[in-house]
A and B are shown apart, each in its own frame.
Chain A
């Protein structure tokens, strides 16, 4: 079976130790994460992890099973690229001098749909949100000018299909009352 890019969504309770539990599942199988982000979800008091990983579908099924087995995990899913809308954000810190001295850099910024977040006499910060490919392209174009700092966030994604987490939680609430 071929390795593919998968995105795993994990709905969880907000628990300190859970990050450890989830990352340990990858660690013990020697699987490198492309990225992992955690944030609040659309449901009050429910967190959402978004994990990007390149594995076979058989592996991702087993991983999702192991993740879902953790007590504080409400539900875990895996998605193929075509099932989701996904983005990443990158920040580029660049010497302000370049903005005036290098004409070309202005064109790069204009053509890349990047935003200037802040400008100081010493540096300016460029923000680019998009697919990995777009961020990489911008990186390649800016890198020759010299980057003071660069960082990129993990993937965040929403699914095209509905998620039925709220319904699951409501069902639990009514059954236990």
Chain B
């Protein structure tokens, strides 16, 4: 089935001449190559919506069912396509509903431009109807924000917005446009922003740092790489692979680095972090050199900083100077875009391999398989496990799908067990941990990468936070596949209550509605699986469906996700049970 997004005609000519601010907004978007935006109309943004109507054959607008959904959809679009996501809403509640998505995009470095309407400039500060200080509210969670009160400022401000959102370390930008600026007239000329004198997107690379890093790499006996989303954002997957293969260094990914290297790559040793793999976490505290590539040493990765990789020299490949020495002190910081710095250092390192060191990872893998993975993927218990659902999905998609996960146990299971063959295949809320992210983000991901299979893995809790976006799926017929792993619990919180709060299950048990009936209400094909013998067939039917599909899998209620590094513990104190 064709989705609405594929019917848009491409426009390349940039308009010029007299027009209103509202029309100028559309021409700015078109000039930036935007053909799809997510949003929700309302009073203070109506002039722009009126222009969207006129330009509906050039710029497609997806009506989400809540402004939060528009931001997450724009994020999903950006993460799957590598382009800037755009979301639009009205003033007041429309703008405040953007806040969670903006904060999520900020902490996960997602390029996004949010446009909000604002009351007329003569009403600013008067507590007018649907007036809210969204600039003040969004300041700490945006890479940049700006209020436009004059029509003639729209082209330069929007050009800056797109430039800032996508350059350097990407992030969200919010542009608030007063209603009179939308109605006002201007002489439209559009010039893409090429630079801002107070902003250095990519710092220069010091050749000395490359030399020092190369020496440390060439001298190391037990080196280890941890790479993050910087590789994906910098489109440096090929450079990373070459670097890993030449250096022979065992390489782990952070949760947002997932899919930057194929899962099956022989030097891929899995995920670091709280629910990451046993080997890379344990051996973080055994390596003599830790190469951090496009990652930011989040506390969920490092555990207790006092005991994190203290024995190792640290090389940090980083684009954002504020990240260097923020959490972990680097012996050598290689500043710049990893696409360039990895290419530059490649000829400086000697080809090598670390067979016995790599074997240490594999030995830990064996322990993890026996104690955790085996029962998760091939359970002997009667109840279904989340892991076997992921195994089934892997079998049907052959690792080619984009996996969009929400937040909680199912997310950790998805990130641990989904197999990836291509980059930009893991869309999840890593930094902010936003429940409700996945359903709208999956809509955006499918529209951003229409040729790819997109499977959303969601828990029964997070699903109900943005469940209304089923309406968006119904209206656009965007063929996303939705899997709800239902354990009738807020599973991750329940797991913590079990382990750290003596099983006092405070407000974590969910009395859930009939999810299949709800999907049916939106005319989305749906199935519920409660027994193992029906699972694979149901997954197969879902994946082969050309339409949106909803699959509920009722899983074991009180399973836990392991391994686990308890909060504040050392990475080497990772628990298997």
Q: Give chain A nearest CB distance to B149 CB in angstroms.
A: 11
CA distance A20 to B324 in the complex (A): 24
Question: Counting CB contacts under 8 A, is A116 at the interface?
Answer: no
Q: Which of A63-71, A128-136, A148-156 contacts B (4 or more CB under 8 A)?
A: A63-71
Closest to A19 in B: B139
The interface on chain B, measured as residues whose beta carbon lies within 8 A of the other chain's beta carbons, has a size of: 21
Contact partners of B321 in chain A: CB under 8 A: 65, 68-69
Q: In chain B, what residue has the closest Cβ to A175?
A: B195
The reply on B368 being an interface residue by CB < 8 A is: no
Q: Give residues in B with beta carbon < 8 Å to A.
A: 135-136, 139-140, 143-146, 164, 194-199, 320-322, 324-326
Contacts A62-B326, A69-B322 known; A21 to B196 CB distance under 8 Å? no
Instruction: Select one of A24, A69, A172 contacting B320, CB under 8 A.
Output: A69
* Chain B residues within 8 Å of A50, by CB: none
| Dominant secondary structure at the B interface | mixed
A74→B199 CA distance, assembly (Å): 7
22 contacts between A and B (CB under 8 A): A13-B198, A20-B136, A20-B139, A21-B140, A24-B140, A28-B140, A62-B322, A65-B321, A65-B322, A66-B322, A69-B322, A71-B143, A71-B144, A71-B164, A71-B198, A73-B198, A74-B197, A172-B197, A173-B197, A175-B195, A176-B195, A176-B197
Question: Closest Cβ of chain B: how far from A83's Cβ, in Å?
Answer: 21
User: Among residues 23 to 82 in chain A, which have CB atoms less than 8 Å away from a CB atom of chain B?
Assistant: 24, 28, 61-62, 65-66, 68-69, 71-74
User: When the two chains form the complex, which single residue of B135, B198, B324 contacts A17, counting CB atoms closer than 8 Å?
Assistant: B135
Complex Cα spacing A13 to B140, Å: 18
Q: How far is the CB of A163 from chain B (nearest CB, A)?
A: 15
Query: Is A169's CB within 8 Å of the partner chain B?
Result: yes
The distance in angstroms between the C-alpha atoms of A9 and B179, with both chains bound, is 37
Q: Is there an interface contact between B199 and A71, defined as CB atoms closer than 8 Å?
A: yes
B326 touches A169 (CB 8 A): no
Total A residues in contact with B, Cβ cutoff 8 Å: 22
CB distance B145 to A17 under 8 Å?
Answer: yes
A142-175 contact mask (Cβ, 8 Å, vs B): 1 or 0: 0000000000000000000000000001001101
Chain A residues near B326 (CB-CB < 8 A): 62, 65
Is A7 positioned at the interface, with any CB of B under 8 Å from its CB?
Answer: no
CB atoms of B140 and A74 under 8 A apart: no
Cβ-neighbour of B139 out of A21, A68, A175 (below 8 A): A21
Question: Chain A nearest CB: distance from B230 CB in Å?
Answer: 15
In the assembled complex, the Cα of A176 lies from the Cα of B199 at a distance in Å of 13
Residues of B within 8 A of A71 (CB): 143-144, 164, 196, 198-199
**Min CB–CB distance A111 → chain B (angstroms):** 46
Sorted nearest first, the 9 A-B pairs with minimum C-beta distance are: A65-B322, A172-B197, A74-B198, A71-B144, A24-B140, A69-B322, A176-B195, A71-B199, A20-B139
Measured in the bound complex, the distance between the Cα atoms of B326 and A74 in whole Å is: 21
A72 to B197: give the CA distance in the assembly, Å: 8
Which residues in A have their C-beta under 8 angstroms from that of B196? 71
Residues of chain A contacted by B325 (CB below 8 angstroms): 61-62
A17-B195 contact given A65-B322, A69-B322, CB 8 Å threshold: no
**With A and B bound together, what is the CA distance between A24 and B143 in angstroms?**
13
Contact assessment for A169 and B197 in the assembled complex, using a CB-CB cutoff below 8 Å: yes
Instruction: Report the number of A-B residue pairs with Cβ-Cβ less than 8 Å.
Output: 48
Return chain B residues, CB-CB under 8 Å to A173. 197
**Is B139's CB under 8 angstroms from A172's CB?**
no
Say yes or no: B322 contacts A68, CB within 8 Å.
yes
Q: How far is the CA of A173 from the CA of B145 in the complex (A)?
A: 24
* A72 CA / B144 CA spacing, docked (Å): 9
A1 CB, nearest partner CB in chain B, Å: 13
Residues of chain A with a CB closer than 8 A to B136's CB: 17, 20
In the bound assembly, the distance between CA atoms of A61 and B198 in angstroms comes to 19
Most buried by A among B146, B194, B322: B322
CA of A71 to CA of B326 in the docked complex: distance in angstroms? 19
- Least Cβ distance of A49 to chain B in Å? 13
- A72–B135 Cα gap in the complex (Å)? 15
Are A176 and B194 within 8 A (Cβ)?
Answer: yes
B198 touches A12 (CB 8 A): yes
| A 112-138 contacts with B by CB, 8 A | none
The distance in angstroms between the C-alpha atoms of A72 and B173, with both chains bound, is 13
Q: Say yes or no: B197 contacts A17, CB within 8 Å.
A: no
Measured between alpha carbons, how far is A24 from B135 in the docked complex, in Å? Answer: 13
Other 7 A-B pairs with CB < 8 A, given A65-B321, A68-B322, A74-B198: A13-B198, A17-B139, A66-B322, A69-B320, A69-B321, A175-B195, A176-B195
Q: How far is the CA of A169 from the CA of B164 in the complex (A)?
A: 19
CB neighbours (8 Å) of B143 from chain A are 71
Smallest CB–CB gap between B111 and chain A, Å? 14
Do A72 and B198 contact each other (CB < 8 Å), given the known contacts A17-B135, A24-B140? yes
Report the separation of the CA atoms of residues A68 and B323 in the bound assembly, to the nearest whole angstrom: 12
Let me know if B198 and A24 touch, CB within 8 A.
Answer: no
Q: Which residues of B contact A175 (CB under 8 A)?
A: 195
In the bound complex, CA of A175 to CA of B197 (Å): 10
Residues of B within 8 A of A176 (CB): 194-195, 197
> B residues within 8 A CB of A72?
144, 198-199
Chain B's closest residue to A64 (CB) is B322
Within the complex, the shortest CB–CB distance from A75 to chain B, in Å, comes to: 8
A61 to B329, alpha carbons, bound, how many Å?
12
Residues of B within 8 A of A24 (CB): 139-140
Chain B residues, Cβ within 8 Å of A65: 321-322, 324, 326
Which single residue of chain B is at the shortest CB-CB distance from A58?
A: B325
Which of B143, B164, B196 has most chain A Cβ within 10 Å?
B196
A176–B325 alpha-carbon span in the complex (Å): 31
Q: Residues of A contacting B164 with CB < 8 Å?
A: 71
B386 CB, nearest partner CB in chain A, Å: 35
Of all chain B residues, the one with the shortest Cβ separation from A15 is: B146
Residues of A within 8 A of B198 (CB): 12-13, 71-74
Contacts of B195 in A (CB 8 A): 172, 175-176
Chain B residues whose CB sits within 8 angstroms of the CB of A28 once the complex forms = 140
Give the shortest distance, in Å, between A72 (CB) and chain B (any CB).
5
A61–B324 CA distance with the chains assembled, in angstroms: 11
CA of A176 to CA of B145 in the docked complex: distance in angstroms? 23
Contacts of B145 in A (CB 8 A): 17
